[in-house]
A and B are shown apart, each in its own frame.
Chain A
Amino acid sequence: MDLFLQQIANGLIIGSTYAVVALGFALAFSVLRVIHFAHPDVFMVGMFAGLVTAETFPFGGLALAMLGGLIGAGVLGYAIERSVIEPLRGRDVLTTLIATLGVAIMLQNGMALIVGPDPVPYPPLLPRRFLDIGPVSVTVRQAANLGICLLLLAFVSLYVRGTRIGRATRAIAERPDVAAAFGVDVARVCQVTIVVASAMAGIAAVSVGTLYGSASAFVGLLYGLKAFTCMLVAGNRYFEGVAAVAIFLGVLEALVTGYVSSSLRDAVAFLVLIGVLYFRPNGLFGSYQT
């Protein structure tokens, strides 16, 4: 029972991180109609932006490093939107997929040129201390990561449901033409959407770097594939659905690791996700016809 609760906690921590990246993927796909394969590498650049910030201003702590991650990822996301995605608007989805994949490869190898191909140590922005919550034991870093990611997810949910631009975002996701004909500047909202998705990835990335104590130019690969799969499994009708599937994936992985074997972790997790698609090809929560 203790192992079960412990693995649930571990799963929530990793799953909430997948959820932040997956939600960014889903925002880009639903609103801009682009499979933004560079998004996980925007996450990676955000991680290094936080690292540089923390090393430049050692007394800024976690908050300043996160601000660095937010700005670094946000600016990069905006630049990719304007220079690669926007000029290809209206083209086939494969065209933008290949273009953003190209950007992803450039970012990974560009960063590897600067910092080297191996993981580099991340500044200890939080103590390594353990917290005991009943039978479950987590580190301060893990608890902080879960809290930060859940806050980011809540923020996006409030944003798309409670604000004027957020409503316009959902309107574009379902019917871009009707949204435009009701006064929504679609190009502007697309830019805002990418900046929001990138900035939240940047914040989460600093937290993840702190959690594992290392950053790597290729960290995006791990998150990218999982986030992309979560988006497909959830469908693009509800952004919150994508986050829910990602958190479920994290828990599933942790349970397989705890009870079966860590080497079977990805195999079992992806088998379950693909199984869902077999029975619900439009995703667990449905998809818009596009």
Chain B
Amino acid sequence: MRGNGLAPPLLAIEGLAVSYGAVPAVDGVSLEIHPGELRVILGANGAGKTTIIKTVLGLLRPRRGRILLDGTQDLLRCRPHQIHRMGIAWVPEGRQLWSTLTVLDNLRLGGFRERDETVVARRIDEMFQRFPRLGERRNQISGSLSGGEQQMVAIARALVSGPRLLLMDEPSLGLAPLVVRDVFALVKEINAMGIAILMVEQNARQALKVADWAYLLETGRIVESGPAAEVAGKESVQAVFLGGHA
């Protein structure tokens, strides 16, 4: 059913090249994700993972390449707020909450694209049921929450927009091991709701457990690509990410 070429991919990145000044960050990356899938891009610090995400969001301009939504919509012609309104939401690296705003205001801003306030209020209520701790802290300044709670706000903020595709940048970064387990369980749960997820991670062990498909990114190029179970068995991945750790 996946990648059978009949339906266009939800998101297709073709020959993407991005550089910061003269320094290339991403060099000829092609990848795709289909509706309902969970795909992960593995790579070390500086491999270009965040650059890919930010380019899809319209926050960076590539030197070359194409990014197509639904096989037709060229995202490189769109500005960030227009791309978001097509159903793409972001869980940024390091959460990046609006730290002086309350939890509730962060979630309201997550629903900014939805003009019907009652829809936003209902979605926020759903989030407070799913994360009761956030409900208790709804009027607290988000900067005062713990790292794990902030990550929940970041994920809830993205979900309030009602996305088709969720871009998650290192959701486990800087969290305690127990919280990391919760986050990956939550990623799996969101995906089961039918939301496609493109996730970038350094925590290869956990990410490969939940993902359908994995890409391995090294210095701006994709060096491995395949079903997550297969990629997990590759020597290159074993050596770099899975070897030596308990």
Q: Is the CB of B80 within 8 A of A180?
A: yes
Contact with B along A222-237 (1 / 0, CB 8 A): 0000000000000001
Given contacts A182-B84, A183-B81, 19 further A-B contacts (CB under 8 A): A164-B112, A167-B101, A167-B109, A170-B100, A170-B101, A174-B98, A174-B100, A174-B101, A175-B98, A177-B54, A178-B96, A181-B59, A181-B80, A181-B83, A182-B112, A183-B85, A183-B113, A185-B81, A186-B81
B-side contacts of A238, CB under 8 Å: 100
B217 beta carbon closer than 8 Å to chain A: no
B-side contacts of A186, CB under 8 Å: 80-81
Give the shortest distance, in Å, between B113 (CB) and chain A (any CB): 4
B-side contacts of A35, CB under 8 Å: none
A120 beta carbon closer than 8 Å to chain B: no
Give the shortest distance, in Å, between B28 (CB) and chain A (any CB): 25
B-side contacts of A170, CB under 8 Å: 98, 100-101
Q: Is the CB of B99 within 8 A of A167?
A: no
| Interface residues in A, total, Cβ within 8 A | 19
A-side contacts of B215, CB under 8 Å: none
Contact with B along A121-149 (1 / 0, CB 8 A): 00000000000000000000000000000
In the complex, A238→B98 CA distance in Å?
Answer: 13
Interface positions, chain B 63-95, Cβ under 8 Å from A, are 79-81, 83-85, 89-90, 92
B105 beta carbon closer than 8 Å to chain A: yes
Q: Is the CB of B109 within 8 A of A179?
A: yes
In the complex, A172→B71 CA distance in Å?
Answer: 31
B-side contacts of A237, CB under 8 Å: 100
Residue on B nearest A238 in the bound complex, by CB? B100
A9 beta carbon closer than 8 Å to chain B: no
A21 beta carbon closer than 8 Å to chain B: no
In the complex, A122→B108 CA distance in Å?
Answer: 46
B110 beta carbon closer than 8 Å to chain A: yes
Q: Is the CB of B92 within 8 A of A183?
A: no
In the complex, A180→B90 CA distance in Å?
Answer: 11
Q: Is the CB of A182 within 8 A of B113?
A: yes
B-side contacts of A167, CB under 8 Å: 101, 105, 108-109, 112
Q: Name the residue in B54, B79, B112 with the highest tally of chain A Cβ atoms < 10 Å from its Cβ.
A: B112
A243 beta carbon closer than 8 Å to chain B: no
Interface positions, chain B 93-148, Cβ under 8 Å from A, are 96, 98-101, 105, 108-110, 112-113
Q: Is the CB of A181 within 8 A of B101?
A: no
In the complex, A65→B100 CA distance in Å?
Answer: 38
